[in-house]
Amino acid sequence: MTYEKRSDGRKMDELRPIMAKVGIIPNADGSALFAAGKTIAIAAVYGPKLLHPAHMKKPDRGIIRCNYNMLPFSVSERARPGPSRRSKEIGMVSGNALASVVDLKRFPNAVIDVDIMILQADAGTRCAGINAAAMALAHAGVVMKEMISSVAIGKIDDKIVTDITKEEEDYHDGEGATDIPYTLTSNTKQITHLQLDGKIQVNRLKESYEAAKIACEKVLDCQKRALKGEDIDENKESKK
């Protein structure tokens, strides 16, 4: 038995419907929402501002302090509030992905706080969070060398699939499922974040990168349109 049909009817290379909007948190310097299907993330940016505690200050550059959290009822089995090993790891990889495109030398001794909150989770939350955070940084007017866009590519049995859901991640027949979240830069298509959960042959990994490039281009288009003030909801657009 091979994986022939996706449970939600999408084509193998099809993203879930995207929602994207900036300016959702008026008190923040920048904010955004990014959703892919049932995965919904919001991000708020505060700063750049003088860093406290002082011992963390870097006299030659600023730092990005990124927090990732899930609302307790964002998942079917209530997520325990507060930091966990998983949330700390995702905060760190998200912050690193963002830091690679921000010219932090412009902000000595400063911090840019980036808070990512997952409102609802159906896999790919780190990708949705990074997409929202990159939009929120741009919305805050933080100068970025390039934009970044993120998507999780999967290998389910022998098929490379774009933007996998939790149900797909949990596929155990045949070769099972491999989850590969990618974050790519908009112009130079560099990888600023890549994780791999499962196993995959090198040639199939290259294939997954090609799928990520195409998918990130679509994500980028939504991010850019949202930053121009559009309220993007592909759920509504598909019903028109």
Determine if residue 144 is left, alpha or beta; phi over 0 gives left, psi from -120 to 50 gives alpha, anything else beta: beta
Position among 29, 115, 122, 234 found at the interface with ligand CDP (CB under 6 A): 122
Q: Which helix (H) or strand (E) holds 98?
A: helix 85-99
Please, what is the minimum distance in Å from the beta carbon of residue 80 to ligand CDP? Answer: 8
Please, what is the minimum distance in Å from the beta carbon of residue 133 to ligand CDP? Answer: 13
- DSSP structure class, residue 188: T
Question: Which span (11-19, 51-59, 60-68, 117-125) binds ligand CDP, by CB under 6 A?
Answer: 117-125
Q: Among candidates 87, 88, 113, which has minimal Cα distance to 27?
A: 113
CB closer to ligand CDP out of 166 and 204: 166
Question: Which span (4-12, 23-31, 115-123, 227-235) binds ligand CDP, by CB under 6 A?
Answer: 115-123
Please, what is the minimum distance in Å from the beta carbon of residue 86 to ligand CDP? Answer: 6
Please, what is the minimum distance in Å from the beta carbon of residue 111 to ligand CDP? Answer: 25
Q: Which residues pair with 118 in a beta bridge?
A: 41, 70
CB closer to ligand CDP out of 59 and 82: 82
79 binds ligand CDP (CB under 6 A): yes
Does residue 159 contact residue 211 with C-beta atoms inside 8 Å?
A: no
x-or-dash pattern for ligand CDP, window 139-178, by CB under 6 A? -------------x-------------x--x---------
Sign of CA dihedral 51, 57, 59, 65: negative
CB closer to ligand CDP out of 111 and 118: 118
Position among 17, 30, 124, 154 found at the interface with ligand CDP (CB under 6 A): 124
CB closer to ligand CDP out of 111 and 153: 153
User: Site size for ligand CDP, by CB under 6 A?
Assistant: 14
CB neighbours of residue 146 within 10 Å = 18
Distance CA 114, CA 138 (A): 12
Three-class DSSP category at 186? coil
Distance CA 120, CA 129 (A): 11
Distance CA 11, CA 75 (A): 25
126 binds ligand CDP (CB under 6 A): yes
Antiparallel, parallel or unpaired: β 63-70 and 110-120: parallel
Which residues contribute to the site for ligand CDP (CB under 6 A)? 75, 79, 86, 121-126, 152, 166, 169, 179, 181
